[in-house]
Amino acid sequence: MSSQGGSSVTLNLEIGRRSTDLVLRATGAVDEHFSLQMGLDTLWPPAPPGHGPSAWAIEHAIQVVEDQIATMHHRVPVGAQLRMPGSAVALLRREGTIPVPNHEAISLAMVEQWYQALAARAEGAPSARGTGFDEPSGDALMLILRELMHHLGFDALHIEDEPAGATGGTGVTKTSSA
């Protein structure tokens, strides 16, 4: 497994409809598996087409995600790389286009921009019209990514062609112990 900055620790992420699976992989160590009871369809009730979740639903979802990842904070070392399969990025399409092509990192700053647009839509801000993803579950994916990256200290997510856990590719490094 090649890595950026010499890191030999990766956190491979797969977000499903009802659960989220993560594998912490370190060279020379046994893989550590986490299965979190949250997914794309579990964070809030389905919204009508063209609408996102309410502000209350977003706040509740944040708490759910934070509660699920609370025990992982001290398990993921500084310098770890966060990875996700490229196929998962399809949920982040906006008007048919993925704002971040495969093989590039999605920065925490970009995820925060997407979150601010979601929050503004939830509040009914006119300036937020048209900022949603084509797939309603794109909002849930973005919120899970935001909370994982923020609370586990990742400044970016590396998108890879192969499924999470496969060898090869480069990663994005965790830069803080936040």
**pLDDT tens, position by position, 27-83:** 999 999 999 999 999 999 887 766 789 999 999 999 999 999 998 989 999 989 999
**Where do the H-state alpha helices sit in 86-136?**
108-122
Model pTM greater than 0.95?
Answer: no
Average pLDDT over residues 96-105: 66
Contacts 24+ apart (CB under 8 A), 92-98: 92/133, 92/138, 92/141, 92/142, 93/133, 93/134, 93/135, 93/138, 94/131, 94/132, 94/133, 94/134, 94/138, 95/134, 96/134
